[in-house]
Amino acid sequence: MFLALRELSFARGRFALMGSVVALIAVLMVLLSGLSVGLVNDGVSGLKKLPVSSFAFEAGVDESAAFTRSMVEIDKAEMWVDVPGVADAAPFGLTLVNTRTDRGVDIDLALFGVELDSWLLPTAATGSDLSGPGQILLAGTLADEGVAIGDVVVVDQIDKELEVVGFVDGQHTFGHVDVGYVDLSTWQEIRAGARPGDEVPNHVYRWVTAIAVLNEGDAEPDVAAADEMAGTTTMTLEESFGASPGYTAEVMTVQMIQWFLYAISALVVGAFFTVVAIQRRQEIAVMRAMGASTGYLLRDSITQSVILLVVATAVGLGIGLALGAGLSATEMPFALYPSAVAAASAFLVLLGLVGAAFGVLRVTRVDPLTALGASR
């Protein structure tokens, strides 16, 4: 500590420069963390809020497009209810539609079709619950966008009219589109493209997107056997996120940027401390000749890099959080979770230390003989 602190203050210009780089990377990390959480929420918050353990899709469905491709017969819900460890199972419909309200507001919607008495149906935070066909219960965020209770939402092309009866609390989205809950039969008609007044063939009411399954407590039902029996392909709720449009690509892109930043940070910090170590060679040799142990020299250098990294990351974190607070208030898909931000910061410091270690470890290779005679 003795030398580390004095060197930090003596060469403060140099250390401040390095610290700024780390701080800027920390700012970026915070923003990326917010963006990543925001994108996840925008992609699957509607799914996350379902009280569901897993979805049973059509057997052999393309897993990356399960929600749009899958068609399952409605009676498979009863087969799933009987599976040991399953508390309940219910038919679930999902389809994306373009709509316009009678007041001229264009909204894209992910329609979740559920039975009116289903455990899947959320209760309204404002207005009233879904109670019949031709009604729609909308995501709370739409209330801010000029949609009000009593409005009529008209589905493009088929001119199906849905009356807004209420809003559920908070953000419910799927594939960056707000969620609207409708009665399952209404959903089936829309999915079939039936216009009002059309004769709807009976088989339309036999199909849904998937069977939503709720496990009993911590029970883990034998999914493979159940799939075999019911002729379905089951994904857990988390696995099904990947079936939200763009979800996997977005999450991977952001994650890749994050990993690159970690690597860049570690390399830059490593390069910096390597240069510092080379510059201090003579100094280190003198200290070794004076009898400084390797432990002492390592401790001193590591203390220095820890102080630099922690202070710089903390400063960057502060700036990033301030910027993030601003961003959260905008349209951007952005949300800061303390745990995600803390993990990113800790990782930044940790990887920075790994980088610094490469430079710092050089002190162990300095020969105290170098101190004798300036010529060598």
Residues lying near another protein in the complex (CB under 8 A) are found at 2-3, 6-7, 9-11, 282-283, 286-293, 296, 368-369, 371-374
Residue 322 Cβ vs Mg ion, minimum distance, rounded to whole Å: 59
Both structure tokens of 66: 């399960």
The Cβ-side half-sphere exposure at 50, using a 13 Å CA radius, reads 32
Residue 8 Cβ vs another protein, minimum distance, rounded to whole Å: 9
**Helix or strand or coil: residue 259?**
helix
Total residues found in the chain within this entry: 376
Residue 373 Cβ vs Mg ion, minimum distance, rounded to whole Å: 4
CA distance 27 to 4: 26
User: For residue 68, what is the enclosing H or E element?
Assistant: helix 66-69
- Which residue, 68 or 370, is less far from another protein as judged by CB? 370
Nearest to 63 by CA among 231, 232, 222, 235: 235
Judge whether 107 and 142 are in contact, CB under 8 Å.
yes
Residue 370 Cβ vs another protein, minimum distance, rounded to whole Å: 10
Residue 368 Cβ vs Mg ion, minimum distance, rounded to whole Å: 15
Q: Which residues bind Mg ion (CB under 5 A)?
A: 373
Partner in contact with 371, chosen from Mg ion, another protein, none, beta carbon below 5 to 8 Å by kind: another protein
Both structure tokens of 270: 């490593």
CA distance 80 to 309: 53
Judge whether 151 and 193 are in contact, CB under 8 Å.
no
- Residue 148: count of CB within 10 angstroms of its CB: 14
Both structure tokens of 305: 């890099």
User: Under 8 Å CB-to-CB from 192, ≥6 apart: which residues?
Assistant: 200, 204
Nearest to 55 by CA among 186, 288, 212, 164: 212
- Which residue, 251 or 289, is less far from Mg ion as judged by CB? 289
Partner in contact with 368, chosen from another protein, Mg ion, none, beta carbon below 5 to 8 Å by kind: another protein
- Which residue, 266 or 366, is less far from another protein as judged by CB? 366
Residue 282 Cβ vs another protein, minimum distance, rounded to whole Å: 7
CA distance 79 to 221: 13
Partner in contact with 290, chosen from Mg ion, another protein, none, beta carbon below 5 to 8 Å by kind: another protein
Single-letter residue type at 23: A
Partner in contact with 291, chosen from Mg ion, another protein, none, beta carbon below 5 to 8 Å by kind: another protein
User: Angle at the Cα of 66 (from 157 to 84), degrees rounded to 5?
Assistant: 125
Q: Nearest to Mg ion by Cβ — which residue? A: 373
Partner in contact with 282, chosen from another protein, Mg ion, none, beta carbon below 5 to 8 Å by kind: another protein
Residue 273 Cβ vs Mg ion, minimum distance, rounded to whole Å: 32
- Which residue, 329 or 374, is less far from Mg ion as judged by CB? 374
- Which residue, 331 or 376, is less far from Mg ion as judged by CB? 376
Judge whether 133 and 186 are in contact, CB under 8 Å.
yes
- Which residue, 169 or 283, is less far from another protein as judged by CB? 283
- Which residue, 217 or 373, is less far from Mg ion as judged by CB? 373
- Which residue, 98 or 293, is less far from another protein as judged by CB? 293
Partner in contact with 319, chosen from Mg ion, another protein, none, beta carbon below 5 to 8 Å by kind: none
**Helix or strand or coil: residue 175?**
coil
Residue 356 Cβ vs Mg ion, minimum distance, rounded to whole Å: 35
User: For residue 322, what is the enclosing H or E element?
Assistant: helix 294-328
Residue 282 Cβ vs Mg ion, minimum distance, rounded to whole Å: 16
- Which residue, 7 or 178, is less far from another protein as judged by CB? 7
